[in-house]
């Protein structure tokens, strides 16, 4: 008999069912953890700041935030409220940093 076709070991039906259930439960648990991490990453990417919150986040004054707006910092106006998306702010600040290196 060819050794490729010999079983490595044999399981009872109960052992097979238990092993299968264990593997499926493990796969479901890993998938749920992956989805939770993706949801947290998505939530962090879409975080919004008010002017005061952004000033605290960037460790600068509100006046600096208004100056950044004049320089092209993307913002959204909802009524009288002004909001900034975290990812857009980070991209803008990276762009400023690279422009300073080129200019300065």
Q: How confident is the model at residue 104 (pLDDT cuts 50, 70, 90)?
A: very low
The structure tokens 């702010």 sit at: 89
How many whole angstroms from its chain centre is CA 89? Answer: 15
Give residues with Cβ within 8 angstroms of 51, minimum separation 6: 62, 65, 66, 82, 84
In the prediction, which pLDDT does 36 show? 87
Q: Confirm if 62 and 55 have CB atoms less than 8 A apart.
A: yes
In the prediction, which pLDDT does 99 show? 72
Strands in the chain per DSSP E = 48-49, 76-78, 81-85
Is pLDDT above 80 for 101?
no
Is pLDDT above 80 for 72?
yes
In the prediction, which pLDDT does 100 show? 66
CA atoms of 75 and 83, how far apart (whole Å): 6
In the prediction, which pLDDT does 81 show? 94
Q: How confident is the model at residue 90 (pLDDT cuts 50, 70, 90)?
A: very high
CA atoms of 67 and 77, how far apart (whole Å): 16
For the chain, what are the domain ranges?
3-45, 48-103
For the chain, the average pLDDT equals: 85
Which CATH code fits 48-103?
Answer: 1.10.10
Judged on CB neighbours under 10 Å (0-12, 13-18, 19+), 65 is buried
31-67 residue pLDDT tens:
999 988 887 777 666 789 999 999 999 999 999 999 9
In the prediction, which pLDDT does 79 show? 93
């Amino acid at each position: 008999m060819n050794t490729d076709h010999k079983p490595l070991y044999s399981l009872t039906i109960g052992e097979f069912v238990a092993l299968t259930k264990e593997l499926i439960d493990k796969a479901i648990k890993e998938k749920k953890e992956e989805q939770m991490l993706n949801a947290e990453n998505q939530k962090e990417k879409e975080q919004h700041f008010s002017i005061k919150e952004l000033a605290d986040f960037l460790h600068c004054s509100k006046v600096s935030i208004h100056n950044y707006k004049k320089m092209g910092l993307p913002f959204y106006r909802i009524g009288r409220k002004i909001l900034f998306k975290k990812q857009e702010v980070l991209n803008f600040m990276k762009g400023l940093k690279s422009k300073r290196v080129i200019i300065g």
